[in-house]
Chains A and B, each alone.
Chain A
Amino acid sequence: MIQQVKSKWEEEDDSRRSKIGILVDILRLIQKKGGVAKPTHILYGANLSHVRLNKYMDVLMEKQFVETVNAGGRGVYKITDKGMEFVREFRKVEQFSEAFGVPI
């Protein structure tokens, strides 16, 4: 039951937050953590289920916006230069959109 409610909530949450918005949120989260973040930190910070987070991380890896690196024997996510450039570009487009009062 709880899982059903959670899934429903997540569905609604995703419809409110665009997919691109979630991807950028994850990248910003990693940036805030100094460019490297543990999967659990991203999980809680991005407010996503484990399955859903993996899907988004796969997209980010595929686009080479993040990469996995080894830190103390554990795999962590590191934002790449390409990822940081994407966040910068997204911010410009976001500001342009907000200027017209029609946010992304």
Chain B
Amino acid sequence: MAIEGFLLPVRFYGYDSVIYLVSALIGLAIAYKAYRLYSVSEKNQHYNLFVGFSILAVGLLTISLTSAYSYIKFFEQKELLLFNGYFDVADVGYWIYFGASFLAYWFLINMYAPDKKGVFLLSLPMTFNYYSYLNVGLFFFALYLAFRSAVSYFSNKNQNGFWVMGAFVLMAVYHAVLLFTPFFKGFYILAHVFLILSFAFLLYMLIRVNRE
């Protein structure tokens, strides 16, 4: 369970909620632009980009709200806010977030590999170690996206493509660093720095595109 202080330092409580919220808003901006792109091109690949970022943004928004609510209740009541007597509210938020991330990455992978339908959607068991299991899966998904965007960037040297590649690389690093949080709580903070940087890259790309 994320909130118990096993994975994150108490001083960082709430900051991660803000990072998720900002990332979600940037994700929504990307999804909106992708929707405009799809309405012009009507290409399935652009539809996948739109749906992928929409789902990712919804997932991030959910974890942002549930974790913030959970922190507030935790500081008020000095105990975990249980959802069903066993899992806390933040856990439910994490499940939705992880589920949304898998689905979102699946759509984004299909954007790059439209011929291979549903390439390798992993089905991982929901256990108490779900945090690690799911992050391993998401890491590989993000790594694939980073690889495909890198191939695209190095083939046409598009400056905006560089920022997209950077964003996917940072997303992969975010999931990878999260795996080490049981060993050192500081990794939780570091991982979220990578997450916000990843979306900052996307935001910068979006600003560049709109400015030109």
Contacts and interface: CB of A to CB of B under 8 A. Distances in A.
Interface string B155-175: 110101101100000000000
Interface stretch (B13-21, B41-49, B96-104, B130-138): B41-49
Chain B interface category by residue count: 20 to 34
Given A91-B212, A92-B210, A92-B212, A99 B36 contact: no
Main secondary structure of the interface of A (DSSP, over half): helix
B126 interface: no
Main secondary structure of the interface of B (DSSP, over half): helix
Contacts of A93: 33, 36-37, 40
A98 B162 CA distance: 11
Interface of B: 33-34, 36-37, 40-41, 43, 45-46, 49, 111-112, 148-149, 151-153, 155-156, 158, 160-161, 163-164, 205-206, 208-210, 212
18 contacts: A18-B41, A20-B40, A90-B40, A91-B212, A92-B209, A93-B33, A93-B36, A96-B206, A96-B209, A97-B37, A98-B156, A101-B148, A102-B43, A102-B45, A102-B46, A102-B152, A104-B37, A104-B41
